[in-house]
Amino acid sequence: MNHIQIGQTHIQLLQGDITVQQVDAIVNAANSSLLGGGGVDGAIHRAGGSAILEECQQIRNRQGGCATGDAVITTAGRLPAKHVIHTVGPVWNGGSNNERQLLADCYVHSLQLADEHQLISIAFPNISTGIYDFPKKEAAIIALQTVKEYIEQHPDTLLQQIIFVCYDADNLTLYEQQIQAMNV
């Protein structure tokens, strides 16, 4: 199962590269410096070009980067998406350092920014499950549950399409199992 609908919002799963998604915003799994890095962050900056980094630097000058669990929005440069929402996931450090709540905060703050900018569609990567080492199954449960709760709690959201772009087959399978278990 790779699709559910909650209210007017469709939640879709797919496997692929987030940089090619034609949506209003793609979400970047960034770090607090906002200056780029490896993984999906590196891929987004490489494909999107220097305009994204320039805007990240302006945000750094204004507010000194981005705290874990928070999100900021920039242009998407040359990408087919219109915006990039940069959020900073937690580094997994055993689970007793508020990692679960901080991961949920990433999804909520990204969705809030999307709504503030009246966006219709957004694509998420599997935040924190690469270099930051968050256990994939737990991250999938948190991601789907948090997004579902956000839509239920915001019946006036303009978001019609939320895509989880899984890069690896492991994550896609975990998301499919979880969406099935949600029984919507």
- Residues annotated as catalytic are 41
Measured from the CB atom, the residue of 108 and 158 that comes closer to ligand AR6 is 108
Distance between CA atoms of 100 and 143, rounded to whole angstroms? Answer: 10
Query: Within 116-175, which residues bind ligand AR6 (CB under 6 A)?
Result: 125-132, 165, 167-168, 171
β partners of residue 6: 9
β partners of residue 28: 86
Q: Which of 6, 89, 99, 110 binds ligand AR6 (CB under 6 A)?
A: 89
Measured from the CB atom, the residue of 9 and 125 that comes closer to ligand AR6 is 125
Measured from the CB atom, the residue of 20 and 184 that comes closer to ligand AR6 is 20
Query: Within 33-72, which residues bind ligand AR6 (CB under 6 A)?
Result: 37-41, 43
Q: Which of 9, 11, 13, 19 binds ligand AR6 (CB under 6 A)?
A: 19
Distance between CA atoms of 107 and 87, rounded to whole angstroms? Answer: 8
Q: Which of 89, 110, 151, 150 is nearest to 26 (CA)?
A: 110
Question: Minimal distance in Å, beta carbon 9 to ligand AR6?
Answer: 21
Measured from the CB atom, the residue of 6 and 56 that comes closer to ligand AR6 is 56
Distance between CA atoms of 76 and 56, rounded to whole angstroms? Answer: 11
Question: Minimal distance in Å, beta carbon 111 to ligand AR6?
Answer: 17
Q: Which of 18, 23, 52, 85 binds ligand AR6 (CB under 6 A)?
A: 18
Question: Minimal distance in Å, beta carbon 52 to ligand AR6?
Answer: 13
β partners of residue 88: 30
For the chain, how far is it from start to end, CA to CA, in angstroms?
11
Cβ distance 40 to 166 under 8 Å? no
Examine residue 80 and tell whether it contacts ligand AR6 (CB under 6 A): no
Instruction: Identify the burial level of 18 via C-beta atoms within 10 angstroms of its C-beta, where 0-12 means exposed, 13-18 middle and 19 or more buried.
Output: buried
Q: Which of 112, 111, 131 is nearest to 122 (CA)?
A: 111
Q: What are the residues binding ligand AR6 (CB under 6 A)?
A: 17-19, 29-31, 37-41, 43, 89, 125-132, 165, 167-168, 171
